[in-house]
Structures are given as C-alpha cells and as structure tokens.
Amino acid sequence: MVTAERLDLTLLCDDEGNSVRITVLGPLQGVAGGLSAEIVVDTPFVAGRVALSLWRSRLNSWAEALDRLEAGEDIAWLHVQRGPSLYIHLNGERGCPEVVVEDDLVSMTTVRVPIDLPDAWIATHRELLAAVLEAWDGHLSQE
C-alpha cells in the first residue's frame, strides 16, 4: 500500500545550518510509476527549492552513486537527464564535502553548499533510500 507520508531520500546537513534535502512528496501526477519530489536547499545565506521527478531507474542510480561515494569518488547524479542535477564533491573548496544543485532547465541557477557531513552519512542515506523503495515499491514502474 502506498503511503501519503513524505519521505526524505537525502538529508545532507551540518551544524552550521547548511542543508540539501530531497523529499519524496507522492505519486507524480499524470505519469504512471513516477514519484514527485523536491530538492530543498537551505543555508543562512540562500534558500530555494526545485521540483524533481523520480522513477525506479533514478533511485537505482542513486544507489550506485552512494556506492561510488563510499569508494571515495565524487558523483554527478541526474546530470544527463532533464531536470535538476546533484553533484557531491567529497573534498570541496572549504575543506569539507560540497553539494552542488544545478537547475539549468528552469531557473538556470546553480547553488554550491559546503556541508560538514557526519561520518556515517552514506549508511544513513542507504537507509533513507531503502525506506523510500519500501514505501513506494508497489507504485514504481519497473523501469
């Protein structure tokens, strides 16, 4: 049974008030097997949000991105598809990880957020992904 509860797919945040979050909002209107989500950036300097559509293939590619991050590689998630892109640089310009959200299609805006992530953040994100897949498995198309 599909739940109407919002679920975070990502929650990248630190004690300085910087965060980048992707929240699954529910079924994507008019598109079978898709999910509506949003990327929310919130810092003491800038705040914004952008809509994001998710399918099983995008969630699978997020799992692969987590594998690459765990192996010490930077990632670019959704960068070749329509809609916003998310980049994570493990060693950003300020000596901590850096999250870049790029919305070339709609707002033509890029936001770069340094985030001092806790040690277990990748494991936490695997748990968030598993919770999203469990809650929405029956709704998601197989592609």
Domains by residue range for the chain, with CATH? 7-136 (3.30.2450)
Percent of the chain with pLDDT strictly greater than 70: 95
Give residue 25's identity as a one-letter amino acid code: L
How far apart CA 132 and CA 59 sit, in angstroms, is 9
CA 58 to chain centroid: 10
* Pair of tokens at residue 18: 């910087």
Asked if 19 and 42 count as a contact pair (C-beta separation under 8 A), the reply is yes
pTM (predicted TM-score): 0.92
Residue 62: predicted pLDDT: 98
Whose tokens are 């998310």? That residue is 86
CA 4 to chain centroid: 19
